[in-house]
């Protein structure tokens, strides 16, 4: 058995490594927007060995989308002080080449440096892509800070997002959809958030459940983003294509969903 003092130190270490100051995470997302706007990496507090993935492929940062200067018409960020992670949604609709970019960044324990960036970068031909339509819909939505006392618990927010993803493979999963609820998928907007279950025969082809889920949760905004491998949609990637679902939860119920999904062929061949 460890002496009491060691246990205390272990507890402290676990606490400090698990929590990053919100202000430090905010500096990182501010830097991300500056870097993307300028197409210049120098604004980013990179670590010596930052891992970078673009649509799940390993890419060198110097040839990444981050080196393309883009006007940012809309951005929304989440700051996860528990996971030391950030999420940023970027819509660049007025660029000569429009993009929608969803960025997840992991930071070192003190939040000072970026250790990993996962970017889902969508453009023409990706699932229902329409940056201009997305921009106008996203601008009409309210993703304000939820007042203290009305905030959902971290687990509630995460569970709402997970149930939504689980329901694609299993229509019997009860998803806490709000009323109203709206989903923005690429540039397509619906106020009927319920997703039809994947075809049954898909089960025998491969897995049904969206896997490789990576989370960023922000209790102040009441939102979670789940990066995942979206199965079924793209015939070339039956085990899942790069996708991300940005979900706002209010009073335990889903209010908004933004999905961006990458296709290997025009509109995933559909
Ligand atoms: C990027 O920004 C740094 C700092 O402002 C500057 O020195 C550098 O020249 C810029 N690089 C490019 C390629 O513009
Ligand atoms: C990255 O560098 C840090 C500090 O230099 C080190 O602790 C960490 O293990 C390195 N990570 C990888 C994946 O090499
Ligand atoms: C999909 O996953 C299954 C099970 O892991 C594997 O056998 C199959 O090769 C994968 N298919 C593709 C196209 O990656």
Q: Give the mutation target among 36, 42, 45 for probing the ligand 1 site: most ligand atoms within 8 A of CB.
A: 42
Whole-number Cα distances in Å, 164 to 73, 194, 195, 244, 247: 28, 8, 8, 12, 9
Supply the pLDDT for residue 70: 98
Which residue lies with its CA nearest to atom 5 of ligand 1? 42
Mean pLDDT per 10-residue interval, the chain, length 270 residues? 42 51 96 98 95 97 98 98 97 98 94 94 98 98 97 98 94 96 97 87 68 97 97 87 98 98 96
Q: Which domains occur in the chain, in start order?
A: 17-139 (3.10.450.50), 148-269 (3.10.450.50)
Find, among 188, 245, 250, 241, the residue nearest to 214 by Cα.
245
Supply the pLDDT for residue 69: 98
Kindly report the pTM of this predicted structure. 0.90
Supply the pLDDT for residue 249: 98
Whole-number Cα distances in Å, 26 to 5, 73, 116, 183, 217: 35, 19, 16, 26, 14
Between the CA of 206 and the centroid of ligand 3 the distance, in Å, is 7
**Within 10 A of 215 (CB to CB), how many other CB atoms are there?**
21
Find, among 247, 237, 258, the residue nearest to 163 by Cα.
247
Contact present, 160 and 223 (Cβ < 8 Å): no
Supply the pLDDT for residue 204: 56
Q: Which atom of ligand 3 is nearest to the CA of 237?
A: 13
């Amino acid at each position: 058995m460890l002496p009491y003092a060691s246990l205390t130190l272990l507890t402290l270490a676990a606490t400090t490594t698990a929590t990053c100051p919100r202000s430090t995470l905010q500096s990182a997302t501010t830097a991300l927007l500056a870097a993307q706007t300028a197409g210049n990496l120098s604004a980013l507090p990179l670590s010596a060995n930052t891992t970078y993935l673009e649509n799940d492929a390993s890419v060198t940062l110097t040839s990444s989308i981050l080196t393309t200067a883009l006007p940012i018409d809309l951005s929304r960020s989440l700051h996860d002080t528990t996971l030391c992670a950030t999420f940023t949604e970027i819509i660049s609709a007025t660029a000569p080449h429009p993009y929608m970019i969803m960025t997840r960044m992991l930071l070192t324990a003190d939040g000072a440096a970026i250790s990993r960036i996962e970017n889902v970068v969508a453009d023409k031909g990706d699932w229902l892509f329409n940056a201009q339509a997305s921009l106008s819909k996203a601008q009409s939505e309210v993703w304000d800070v939820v007042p203290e006392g009305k905030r959902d618990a971290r687990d509630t927010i995460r569970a709402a997002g997970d149930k939504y993803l689980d329901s694609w493979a299993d229509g019997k999963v009860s998803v806490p959809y709000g009323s109203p609820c709206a989903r923005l998928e690429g540039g397509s907007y619906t106020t009927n958030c319920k997703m039809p279950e994947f075809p049954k025969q898909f089960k025998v082809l491969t897995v049904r459940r969206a896997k490789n889920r990576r989370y960023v949760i922000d209790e102040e905004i009441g939102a979670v983003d789940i990066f995942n491998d979206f199965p079924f949609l793209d015939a070339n990637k039956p085990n899942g294509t790069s996708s991300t679902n940005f979900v706002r939860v209010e009073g335990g119920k889903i209010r908004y969903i933004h999905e961006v999904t990458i296709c290997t062929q025009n509109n995933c061949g559909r």
